[in-house]
Amino acid sequence: MTRRQYVTGMIAMALAGVIFILPFVFIFLTAMKTKKDASLLTFTWPKEWHLAQNFLDVLKTQNYQLLLAYFNSSVITVGAVAMLIVFGALVGYVLQRRQSRWNNLIFGAVLVGLIVPPAVVPTIWVMQGLHLFKTIHGMIFIQVAYGLAFSVLLYRSFIATIPRDLDEAAIIDGARPLQVFFKVILPLLKPVTVTLIVVQSIAIFNDFTNPLYYLPGKDNVTVQLTLFNFQSQFVSQFNLLFMNILLVTIPPLIVFIFFNRQIVAGMTAGAVKG
């Protein structure tokens, strides 16, 4: 490594530190402070460490609303991701394998799904008609509807790399279509599946807009909604507010630490294909 690379690297580190790391350190420090200390909004070491105290206070707010929020968010995420994997793979599979006139239509629908902004009020109107409005399972279906385009896109391009011979060998062995899909294809899709689980989970967990529209009400809170509402709740308690932010940041952080490679691969998957 040349000296220039070292020096530039150091300068870059320092800049990156200030720009990208400092805000997170601020969140952490403020989350540890007492109410008075935090309200000063300074970038200082906490006078007293109130980690456990702040943590419990946030948790207990509004009757342990945060716990309910985590539960709801988890249910929505798991339910939606499971459907996105299976349904998305099924479509990607047929789209890639079967040559038909419908392919262009399906592909067009995928593009529409990626670009077009959902029409929110008409969607509420539809959901009310189907008794899905303000329900958790309704929310799950919404996340599936909005996430299908991306899933289908990834699956389709990955299935293109699985040789057709494998399907045909299984068919010769007597497998029926569903068996071919679940026993031969789906296991081979593991890399994409892992990537999708990671990327979609983070996206759904971080989603604020859709629960705001489709899941109003105290019983249906999600993690992001809770955080938003606590702004007015903790108007003078910055320490608790930032503890909440910290708690909301931790799950994606954990996922990122373990699945960094898959996340980056997923995000760029659409990219190089354009």
Q: Which stretch binds other proteins (CB under 8 A): 46-54, 56-64, 123-131, 188-196?
A: 123-131
The verdict on 28 binding other proteins (CB under 8 A) reads: no
The verdict on 52 binding other proteins (CB under 8 A) reads: no
Distance between CA atoms of 153 and 199, rounded to whole angstroms? 14
Select 11 or 56, whichever has its Cβ closest to other proteins.
11
Please pick, from the candidates 66, 152, 189, 243, the single residue that binds other proteins as defined by CB under 8 A: 152
Please pick, from the candidates 177, 191, 236, 261, the single residue that binds other proteins as defined by CB under 8 A: 177
Please pick, from the candidates 90, 162, 188, 194, the single residue that binds other proteins as defined by CB under 8 A: 90
The verdict on 206 binding other proteins (CB under 8 A) reads: yes
State the minimum distance, in angstroms, from the CB of residue 227 to other proteins.
Answer: 5
Element (H, E) at 167: helix 164-172
Whether 212 contacts 112, CB under 8 Å: no
CB count, 10 Å around CB of 212? 14
Of 187, 10, 170, 3, residue with least CA distance to 89:
187
Select 188 or 212, whichever has its Cβ closest to other proteins.
212
Please pick, from the candidates 85, 94, 189, 243, the single residue that binds other proteins as defined by CB under 8 A: 94
Q: Crossing angle, helix 238-273 and helix 136-159, to 10 degrees?
A: 30
State the minimum distance, in angstroms, from the CB of residue 252 to other proteins.
Answer: 4
For every residue of 64-110, which 3-state class applies, written as one string? HHHHHHHHHHHHHHHHHHHHHHHHHHHHHHHHHHCCCCHHHHHHHHH
Three-state DSSP class for residue 23 = helix
The verdict on 258 binding other proteins (CB under 8 A) reads: no
Please pick, from the candidates 69, 153, 240, 241, the single residue that binds other proteins as defined by CB under 8 A: 241
State the minimum distance, in angstroms, from the CB of residue 3 to other proteins.
Answer: 10
Locus of tokens 């040559």: 99
The verdict on 139 binding other proteins (CB under 8 A) reads: no
Residues whose CB is less than 8 angstroms from the CB of residue 95 and which lie 6 or more positions away in sequence, other chains included: 103, 106, 107, 152, 156
Q: Which stretch binds other proteins (CB under 8 A): 50-58, 62-70, 189-197, 254-262?
A: 254-262
Element (H, E) at 266: helix 238-273
Please pick, from the candidates 50, 113, 154, 195, the single residue that binds other proteins as defined by CB under 8 A: 113
The verdict on 98 binding other proteins (CB under 8 A) reads: yes
